[in-house]
């Protein structure tokens, strides 16, 4: 029935709303009534009357009744206009195109979870504490606007805030440190603990499992030494003793009475296992000094975080005015506790992470677009089916819905598979993280991540399903009916062209990066460190901070800023005593072949810096050579058993003067000589750190010796150009020690702990392990990033190849008749080949050209990060050639199919 356009749209809407034969009958009747009204009252009045049906509740009630009458298999899914039959059909189509299904599932099951890493990270890191009304628990701290860093020496402020702030129910503070817990048998083991104010427990609202919390009365100087312990500590060190309350535990040199046990999982403020009273008084410290504190509070009822912020800012401004020397540069901040705990200057960098999220989603959309291209190509082969369904009365929206549903089934299935794998990988990753993560961090997949993933999957289905479907059903469907499967009138449009080009470019880019990193890894393979890391026991030696003032070093010189050193003389003396005492004891120990101490040990990730060589003039843009750095004791190389290849190692004369400027001797390694000095004689040559323009250049250091590779770069051991500075015992803190033992180094750990506790009951042996298992978060992150990159590389390659294959198949199926006629007219095969493959080849070449541009940028950044690689031009040429080969291979089968077309067959189809 012909209706004016506006009414036609209304009628179509009613037909969608009212399903089934009876629905169609209702719609026919409504259309007829409309025609009658139009004849009698005019088009406008008739249209208004027709449209009024939309407002009639009976229309909607009828829609529900009619849907209820639909057979189960045809019933709509979630009111979206799909039926279970559509789902079954979708699954069947996926089964019938296994190649497409595998490629698409691979792409989406990696692409969807990978694209959600940023938002998942934000959620996991900023997750609220697992406590009652945790969103009311906030962190408070000062930020130094000059250094842009948090200043946590807030003892005075803590007491001031506690006294003055009215927007908080309570304010607490904690200071964490490792403690030696010595059990009755004399065994010492370190445990992270916190001195925490009694108010802290009230803020957290977690009742003790046994006994009590810490009380204000415990904080009074001279009060009995008490401790509250974690469930884990109670189980592991005290064997879950049910009579533990009232017993004493030695923490460092002092016995403490256990007054409470907290429930399992309570490890506030980070991952702490024991809580001691916080006994610092502001009178003992000048303002702006004292221990580093984590201050936190619970917002009062009815108070928002903005109210608290406003009140705190007022107090901050008053203090800044009253005490410009100590508070002039400090600005108090309030933020969610878990955000603050990560220690960034502004809490979690949400803006940056959300931006990364957007970029990740944009990349995912390219992947989806490519899957869409494949679906479009397959849809082309179904143009006959679509034409028949259209002729039988299926509306365009019905067909688009069906194609969307097929893509949705694919995307949801892939997202589910991807999330399952991602959850598994996240668990492994969390286990592999060498540093202690905060107790609330759970990298596992959360309901919100699942919800976001499903939404993203739906978005993918729109991009990969609806856009091709709209294109496939847009024009020429009627033409298709003439020759059912011959032609559809569909075209690969600009979007598809762009996607294929983008995918090829990305593939070349990823290939370049993946190839270079693989080269770096392979090249590093044969590089044997001078030492065998399996022979060494490594550990961190630390001593609790006890009334020595701030531990944070504030030296301005590059030398000390890079490595840190105990800034407080009393503490330095203590470290010296422990280190030398331990060295003496170990040197007389049977089985110990050497002891080395440093800010870093071989196999650990070393910090980097940029240096220049005296007499070298490499122009204004020269940013310096990137080298790895370590500060080591003078017996470091001997202790490791590493030979000094040229010149000499460190000795006592190198320690003359204060640490820093006056000590000029440095030892470099062979990679330094090769890559920084270009193989020139290093001895006597001078180097210094490159500083930003306008600042005083630091002192020159003189190279006195050369050692071999000692594992300063975990990712690329061959490119570990590095430099060692000398330090006296006591100038390094925390101290990493490597003890050369030979076979089974771990067996020495109990003996080592005993020796350490004999030297100083508070000396702690932390993270003891074989040197080859060095804690190395960068190594772990690098490994996972590398694997992800390899996956992305594979997927983009696969997708670009599949995209080209689809394009070629599509071209051949579209031009069957033309090819047949050309063949009949005697066209030579090569001309036909050009006709078929020209477009795919052009896209391939354009993509490769764009990819080379991307690759140049990536290679530059890799070079900048000092990651070695083969010759850049060679890398790009090889990657381009490989991509060309893959692309051509993908085009081969459809091209051959095109060349085999027989004129008779083609004409029959036409």
Partner 1 sequence: MSLGELQQLAMLAVARLGPGAYGAAIQDELAEVAGRQVSVPTVYVTLIRLEEHGLVRSTEEPPPDGRGGRARRVFEVTPSGWGALHEARAASDRMWRGVAQP
Under rule CB under 8 A, residue 56 binds partner 1: yes
Region binding partner 1 by CB under 8 A among candidate stretches 30-38, 153-161, 228-236, 485-493? 30-38
Structure tokens at 403: 């194609």
Compute the least distance from the CB of residue 477 to partner 1, in Å: 23
Under rule CB under 8 A, residue 241 binds partner 1: no
Structure tokens at 232: 């884990």
Compute the least distance from the CB of residue 77 to partner 1, in Å: 23
Q: Which residue has the tokens 């004369």?
A: 653
Compute the least distance from the CB of residue 35 to partner 1, in Å: 12
Residue number with CB closer to partner 1 (68 or 695): 68
Structure tokens at 796: 């983009």
Residue 263, SS3 per DSSP: coil
Under rule CB under 8 A, residue 593 binds partner 1: no
Residue number with CB closer to partner 1 (14 or 559): 14
Minimal CA–CA distance to 749: which of 177, 233, 235, 187? 187
Region binding partner 1 by CB under 8 A among candidate stretches 28-36, 154-162, 299-307, 332-340? 28-36
Under rule CB under 8 A, residue 28 binds partner 1: yes
Residue number with CB closer to partner 1 (22 or 878): 22
Compute the least distance from the CB of residue 65 to partner 1, in Å: 5
Cβ–Cβ under 8 Å, residues 724 and 642: no
Residue number with CB closer to partner 1 (10 or 671): 10
Phi and psi of 895, rounded to 5°? -65, -45
Region binding partner 1 by CB under 8 A among candidate stretches 53-61, 448-456, 584-592, 667-675? 53-61
All residues at 6 or more sequence positions from 675 whose CB lies less than 8 Å from its CB, including other chains: 625, 719, 721
**Within positions 302 to 321, which residues make up the interface with partner 1, using CB under 8 A?**
none
Among 7, 10, 30, 124, binds partner 1 (CB under 8 A): 30
Compute the least distance from the CB of residue 52 to partner 1, in Å: 8
| E-strand stretches of 292-421 | 294-299, 330-336
Minimal CA–CA distance to 309: which of 186, 149, 141? 141
Evaluate the omega torsion of the peptide bond into residue 734 and state whether it is cis, within 30 degrees of 0.
Answer: yes
Residue number with CB closer to partner 1 (62 or 579): 62
Region binding partner 1 by CB under 8 A among candidate stretches 26-34, 91-99, 314-322, 347-355? 26-34
Compute the least distance from the CB of residue 417 to partner 1, in Å: 44
All residues at 6 or more sequence positions from 309 whose CB lies less than 8 Å from its CB, including other chains: 333, 334
Phi and psi of 94, rounded to 5°? -65, -40
Under rule CB under 8 A, residue 53 binds partner 1: yes
Under rule CB under 8 A, residue 25 binds partner 1: yes
**Alpha-carbon torsion 454, 458, 459, 460, what sign?**
positive
Residue number with CB closer to partner 1 (24 or 320): 24
Region binding partner 1 by CB under 8 A among candidate stretches 16-24, 261-269, 413-421, 759-767? 16-24
396-432 helix and 383-391 helix, angle to the nearest 10 degrees: 130
- Could you give the dihedral angle defined by the CA atoms of residues 115, 121, 126 and 129, in that order, rounded to the nearest 10 degrees? 120
Residue number with CB closer to partner 1 (36 or 547): 36
Compute the least distance from the CB of residue 13 to partner 1, in Å: 13
Q: Which residue has the tokens 């394009």?
A: 807
Phi and psi of 846, rounded to 5°? -60, -45
Residue number with CB closer to partner 1 (71 or 98): 71
Among 5, 21, 301, 431, binds partner 1 (CB under 8 A): 21
Compute the least distance from the CB of residue 33 to partner 1, in Å: 6
Q: What is the largest CA-CA distance in the chain?
A: 115
Among 12, 16, 24, 349, binds partner 1 (CB under 8 A): 24
d(CA 682, CA 725): 16
All residues at 6 or more sequence positions from 76 whose CB lies less than 8 Å from its CB, including other chains: 19, 67, 70, 82, 83
- Could you give the dihedral angle defined by the CA atoms of residues 446, 447, 450 and 454, in that order, rounded to the nearest 10 degrees? -160
Among 26, 330, 348, 723, binds partner 1 (CB under 8 A): 26
Under rule CB under 8 A, residue 107 binds partner 1: no
d(CA 246, CA 676): 63
**Within positions 57 to 96, which residues make up the interface with partner 1, using CB under 8 A?**
58-59, 61-62, 65-66, 69
Compute the least distance from the CB of residue 75 to partner 1, in Å: 16
Structure tokens at 639: 């202790």
Distances (CA, A) of 161 to 295, 296, 313, 326, 329: 10, 11, 11, 16, 18
Among 16, 33, 271, 396, binds partner 1 (CB under 8 A): 33
Compute the least distance from the CB of residue 70 to partner 1, in Å: 13
Residue number with CB closer to partner 1 (49 or 576): 49
Cβ–Cβ under 8 Å, residues 255 and 225: yes
| Helices within 732-815 (DSSP H only) | 749-759, 777-814
Q: How many residues bind partner 1 (CB under 8 A)?
A: 19
**216-255 exposure pattern, b = at least 16 Cβ within 10 A, e = fewer:** eebbeeeeeebbbbbbbbbeebbeeeeebeeeebbbbeee
Residue number with CB closer to partner 1 (102 or 391): 391
Residue 457, SS3 per DSSP: helix
Cβ–Cβ under 8 Å, residues 71 and 30: no
Among 4, 8, 32, 133, binds partner 1 (CB under 8 A): 32
Compute the least distance from the CB of residue 86 to partner 1, in Å: 24
Compute the least distance from the CB of residue 398 to partner 1, in Å: 18
Residue number with CB closer to partner 1 (35 or 638): 35
Q: How many residues does the chain have?
A: 910
Region binding partner 1 by CB under 8 A among candidate stretches 55-63, 325-333, 403-411, 599-607? 55-63
Compute the least distance from the CB of residue 16 to partner 1, in Å: 15
From residue 325 to residue 344, the character string flagging contacts with partner 1 as x (rule: CB under 8 A) and all else as - is --------------------
Cβ–Cβ under 8 Å, residues 752 and 537: yes
Under rule CB under 8 A, residue 40 binds partner 1: no
Residue number with CB closer to partner 1 (66 or 452): 66
Residue number with CB closer to partner 1 (66 or 634): 66
Compute the least distance from the CB of residue 36 to partner 1, in Å: 10
- Could you give the dihedral angle defined by the CA atoms of residues 460, 814, 484 and 476, in that order, rounded to the nearest 10 degrees? 70
Residue number with CB closer to partner 1 (53 or 719): 53
Structure tokens at 616: 């070298």
Compute the least distance from the CB of residue 50 to partner 1, in Å: 10
d(CA 369, CA 808): 17
d(CA 606, CA 627): 9
Under rule CB under 8 A, residue 38 binds partner 1: no
Compute the least distance from the CB of residue 45 to partner 1, in Å: 15
Binding footprint of partner 1 on the chain (CB under 8 A)? 21-22, 24-26, 28-30, 32-33, 53, 56, 58-59, 61-62, 65-66, 69
């Amino acid at each position: 029935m012909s209706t004016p356009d506006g009414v036609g749209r209304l009628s179509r809407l009613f037909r969608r709303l009212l399903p089934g034969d009876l629905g169609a009958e209702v719609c026919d009747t409504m259309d007829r009534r409309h025609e009658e009204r139009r004849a009698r009252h005019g088009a406008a009045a008739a249209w208004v009357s027709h449209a009024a049906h939309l407002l009639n509740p009976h229309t909607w009630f009828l829609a529900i009744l009619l849907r209820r009458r639909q057979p189960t298999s045809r019933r709509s899914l979630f009111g979206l206009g799909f039926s279970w039959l559509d789902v079954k059909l979708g699954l069947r189509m996926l089964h019938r195109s296994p190649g497409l299904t595998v490629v698409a599932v691979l792409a989406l099951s990696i692409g969807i979870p990978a694209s959600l890493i940023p938002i998942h990270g934000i959620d996991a890191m900023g997750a609220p504490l697992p406590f009652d009304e945790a969103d009311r628990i906030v962190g408070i701290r000062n930020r130094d606007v000059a250094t842009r860093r948090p200043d946590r020496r807030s003892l005075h402020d803590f007491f001031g805030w506690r006294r003055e702030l009215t927007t908080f129910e309570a304010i607490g503070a904690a200071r964490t440190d490792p403690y030696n817990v010595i059990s009755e048998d004399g065994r010492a083991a370190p445990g992270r603990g916190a001195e925490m104010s009694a108010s802290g427990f009230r803020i957290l609202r977690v009742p003790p499992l046994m006994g009590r919390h810490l009380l204000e009365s415990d904080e009074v100087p001279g009060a009995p030494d008490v401790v509250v312990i974690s469930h884990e500590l109670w189980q592991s060190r005290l064997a879950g003793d049910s009579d533990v309350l009232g017993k004493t535990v030695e923490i460092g040199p002092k016995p403490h009475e256990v007054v409470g046990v907290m429930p399992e999982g309570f490890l506030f403020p980070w991952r702490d296992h024991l809580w001691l009273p916080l006994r610092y008084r502001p009178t003992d410290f000048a303002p702006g000094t004292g221990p580093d504190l984590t201050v936190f509070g619970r917002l009062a009822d009815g108070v928002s975080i903005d109210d608290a912020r406003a009140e705190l800012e007022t107090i901050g401004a008053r203090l800044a005015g009253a005490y410009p020397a100590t508070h002039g540069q400090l600005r108090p901040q309030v933020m969610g506790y878990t955000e603050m705990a990560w220690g960034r200057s502004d809490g979690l960098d949400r803006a940056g992470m959300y931006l990364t999220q957007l970029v990740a989603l944009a990349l995912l959309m390219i992947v989806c677009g490519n899957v869409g291209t494949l679906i479009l190509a397959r849809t082309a082969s179904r143009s006959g089916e679509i034409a028949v369904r259209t002729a039988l009365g299926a509306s365009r929206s019905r067909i688009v819905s069906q194609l969307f549903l097929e893509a949705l089934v694919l995307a949801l299935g892939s997202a589910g598979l991807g999330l399952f794998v991602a959850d598994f990988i996240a668990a492994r990753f969390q286990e592999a993280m060498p540093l202690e993560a905060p107790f609330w961090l759970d990298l596992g997949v959360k309901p919100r991540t699942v919800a976001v993933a499903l939404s993203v999957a739906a978005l993918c289905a729109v991009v990969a399903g609806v856009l091709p479907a709209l294109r496939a059903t847009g024009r020429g469907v009627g033409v298709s009916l003439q020759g059912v499967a011959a032609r559809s009138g569909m075209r690969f449009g600009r979007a598809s062209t762009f996607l294929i080009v983008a995918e090829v470019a990305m593939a070349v880019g990823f290939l370049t990066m993946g190839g270079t990193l693989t080269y770096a890894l392979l090249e590093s393979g044969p590089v044997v460190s001078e030492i065998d890391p399996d022979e060494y026991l490594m550990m961190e030696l630390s001593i609790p901070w006890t009334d020595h003032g701030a531990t944070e070093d504030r030296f301005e010189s590059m030398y000390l800023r890079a490595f840190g050193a105990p800034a407080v003389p009393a503490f330095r003396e203590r470290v010296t005593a422990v280190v030398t005492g331990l060295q003496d004891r170990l040197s007389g120990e049977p089985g110990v072949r050497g002891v080395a101490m440093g800010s870093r040990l071989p196999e650990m990730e070393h910090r980097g810096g940029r240096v220049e060589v005296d007499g070298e003039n490499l122009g204004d843009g020269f940013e310096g050579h990137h080298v790895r750095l370590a500060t080591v004791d003078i017996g470091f190389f001997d202790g490791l058993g590493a030979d000094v290849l040229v010149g000499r190692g460190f000795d006592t004369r190198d320690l003359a003067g204060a640490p820093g400027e006056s000590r000029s001797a440095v030892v470099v390694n062979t990679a330094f000589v090769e890559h920084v000095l270009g193989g020139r004689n290093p001895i006597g040559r001078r180097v210094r750190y490159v500083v930003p323009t306008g600042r005083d250049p630091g002192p020159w250091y003189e190279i006195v010796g050369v050692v071999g590779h000692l594992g300063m770069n975990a990712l690329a051991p061959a490119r570990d150009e590095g430099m060692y500075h000398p330090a006296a015992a006591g100038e390094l803190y925390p101290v990493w020690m490597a003890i050369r033992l030979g076979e089974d180094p771990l067996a020495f750990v109990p003996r080592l702990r005993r020796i350490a506790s004999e030297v100083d009951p508070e000396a702690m042996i932390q993270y003891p392990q074989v040197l080859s298992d060095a804690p190395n978060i960068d190594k772990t992150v690098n490994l996972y990033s590398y694997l992800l990159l390899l996956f992305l590389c594979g997927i983009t390659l696969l997708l670009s190849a599949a995209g080209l294959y689809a394009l070629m198949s599509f071209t051949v199926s579209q031009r069957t008749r033309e090819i047949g006629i050309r063949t009949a007219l005697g066209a030579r095969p090569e001309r036909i080949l050009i006709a078929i493959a020209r477009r795919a080849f052009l896209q391939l070449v354009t993509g490769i050209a764009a990819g080379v541009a991307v690759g140049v940028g990536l290679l530059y950044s890799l070079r900048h990060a000092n990651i070695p690689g083969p010759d850049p031009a060679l890398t790009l040429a090889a990657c381009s050639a490989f991509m060309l080969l893959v692309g051509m291979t993908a085009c081969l089968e459809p091209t051959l199919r095109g060349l085999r077309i027989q004129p008779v067959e083609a004409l029959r189809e036409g």
